[in-house]
Amino acid sequence: MGNGMNKVLPGLFIGSLEDSQDENQIKSNNITHILSLLDEPPELKPFLQNLKYKSIIIQNLPGQNMMQYFHECIAFIHRGRLSEGNVLVHCDTGSSRASTVCIAYIMTIADVDPRSALRYLKAMRNIVRPNHGFRIQLVLYHRMEISEVRDALIEVFGDINPADGAEIKKVLAGLS
**Catalytically active residues, by annotation:** 91
Q: Provide the strand spans (E) within 18-149.
A: 31-38, 52-57, 86-91
Cβ neighbours of 111 (radius 10 Å): 15
Q: How many residues are listed for the chain in this entry?
A: 176
170 strand-pairing partners: none
110, 168 Cβ separation under 8 angstroms? yes
